[in-house]
Amino acid sequence: MKKISLLLLVVFCFLQCKTPKDKTYDSFTVEKYAEIIEKNSLKEKLFTIAADSFEGRETGELGQKKAAAYLKDFYEKHHISPGNNGKYYQEIPSAYFDYKFKDTENVIAMIEGHEFPEEIITVSAHYDHLGIDDNGEIYNGADDDGSGTVAVMQMAKAFKEASENGHGPRRTIVFMHFTGEEKGLLGSRYYTENPIFPLAKTVTNLNIDMIGRIDDFHQTDQHYIYLIGSDRLSSELDSVINQQNRAHTQLKLDYKYNDEDDPQRLYYRSDHYNFAKHNIPVAFFFSGLHEDYHKISDTADKIEYDLMTERAKLVFYSLWEIANSDKKLKVDKAS
C-alpha cells in the first residue's frame, strides 16, 4: 500500500508541475500543424488551378467560375465553414464596376475563434488572372497568383485540423480568395466597401501575391521573401513576423519594396491595400517580379516549390501567433 501511495504522489506532483494541458501555443504544437503545409500538396493544387482547363481565370469568365467552384469544393470537402452567412461566395454584381463582364464572386471561408470570435484575422490571395489572349494562348497565372491561392487553401486545412484537435484558434480566421485583382483590386475593394465582418473588428490582413519564384536580385541568395507594409500601421505586426521568422523559417526578410519612395509602388498594387485604406494593419508577402510576369509562360512547372513552402509556412506561423496571442494586435501608426 505504501508503494502505491508513493507512486500516486509522484504522478500527482508530475501533473501539477508540468505545463498546462492546453498546448495550443507551444513550439511543438505549431510546428506539427505547419507540416500540413507541405510541398507535394501545394504542387498538386497549383498544377490544378493553373491548368489550361481553368482558361486563365479571367474575372467573370468561365475559367474564373471554375476556379471559384474548385475553391468552394475544397472548403466543403474539409468541412471548413463558409464565410458569408452560410455561403462561400460573396457575389459581386458587374454593374458595381466600370468593366464589362458577367457577375463575379469572392470566395470566403472561416474558422471561428473559441475565445475572441469577434476579433477577425484575415489571410488573402487573389485567384483571378488574365484569361486568354487574342491568339487563344492561355495565361495560366501559376505564380500570379496561383501560388498565393493554394497557400491559403493549405493553411486553412492546417488550422482546421488544429481546431478539431482542440488547438485554437482563439480569434476567428477568415480565408479570402479575391476576384478582380487584375482588373484593379476590384474584389477586395468590393469586400471592404461591403464587409461581411466589421472592419473595426478586423485585426489584420496578411496578403499573399506571388511567392513561387526567384527574382533577379536574389539569384545567389534565394532563401528570401519580400515583406511590404508590415510596419506601416502596426510596429507590432512587423515584430511578430520577424519573431516567427527567426523561430521557424529563417528567411531573409527583404524590405526593398517597402520604401515609401519605391518606384514600383507595390504597397498599392495588391489586395491588402484596400484594408490598409481603412487603417487595418497589413503585410504583403511577395517573391518579386520575374521574366514570366503577366506572360503566358507563368506556368506551374517553373515554381520553386521548396521555397514556396517555406514562404507559406512563415505566413502560417505569423497567423498562428496573431490568432492565439493573449492580446490583440496594436495599431500604433494609424493615419
Confidence class for position 21, pLDDT limits 50, 70, 90: very low
196 is a domain residue: yes
Q: Can you give the pLDDT at residue 94?
A: 85
pLDDT value at 280 more than 50: yes
Classify residue 4: in a domain, yes or no.
Answer: no
Whole-angstrom distance, CA of residue 211 vs CA of residue 208: 7
- For residue 95, which phi and psi values (nearest 5 degrees)? -65, -15
For 110-149, the DSSP string reads EE--SSEEEEEEEEEEE--B-EE-TTS-EE--IIIIIHHH
Q: Which has more pLDDT, 95 or 137?
A: 137
Q: Mapping DSSP to helix (H, G, I), strand (E, B) and coil, where does residue 178 land? A: strand
- 171 within some domain: yes
What integer pLDDT is reported at residue 98 of this predicted model? 75
Q: What is the CATH number of the domain that holds 57?
A: 3.40.630.10
Higher pLDDT, 172 or 99: 172
Task: Work out the angle between the directed axes of helices 39-49 and 147-164 (0-180°, nearest 10).
Answer: 130
Instruction: Choose the weakest-confidence range: 3-7, 200-204, 264-268.
Output: 3-7
Per-residue pLDDT reduced to its tens digit, 224-251 = 999 999 999 999 999 999 999 999 999 9
Q: Is residue 279 part of a domain?
A: yes
Flag whether pLDDT at 159 surpasses 60. Answer: yes
pLDDT number for residue 100: 74
Lowest mean pLDDT: which of 2-6, 14-18, 121-125? 14-18
The sign of the dihedral angle between the CA atoms of 79, 80, 86, 89 is negative
pLDDT in tens, 51-85: 999 999 999 999 999 999 999 999 999 999 999 99
Evaluate whether residue 169 is within a structural domain: yes
Indicate whether 332 belongs to any domain.
no
**178-231 confidence digits (pLDDT tens):** 999 999 999 999 999 999 999 999 999 999 999 999 999 999 999 999 999 999
What is the pLDDT at residue 92? 96
* Residue 27 per-residue DSSP state: H
pLDDT score recorded for residue 10: 46
Q: How many domains does the chain have?
A: 1
Predicted pLDDT of residue 28? 85
Q: Is 7 a member of any domain?
A: no
pTM higher than 0.85 for the full model? yes
The answer to whether 106 and 138 have CB atoms below 8 angstroms apart is: no
Is it the case that residue 288 has pLDDT exceeding 50? Answer: yes
pLDDT for position 15: 45
Share of the chain above pLDDT 70, in %: 93
Of the pLDDT bands very low, low, confident and very high (cuts 50, 70, 90), residue 47 is very high
Q: What is the pLDDT of residue 1?
A: 43
329: DSSP letter? P
What pLDDT does 4 receive?
46
- List pLDDT tens digits, range 290-309: 999 999 999 999 999 999 99
Task: Give the span between the Cα atoms of 52 and 249, in whole angstroms.
Answer: 33
Question: Residues near 178 by Cβ (< 8 Å), separated by ≥ 6?
Answer: 106, 124, 125, 126, 127, 128, 185, 187, 188, 191, 271
Residue range of the domain that includes 118: 36-106+113-324
| Buried/exposed 72-83: b ≥16 CB within 10 Å, e otherwise | bebbeeeebbbb
141 found inside a domain: yes
Q: What is the mean pLDDT of the chain?
A: 93
CB 147 within 8 A of CB 303: yes
Q: Is a pLDDT exceeding 80 seen at residue 2?
A: no
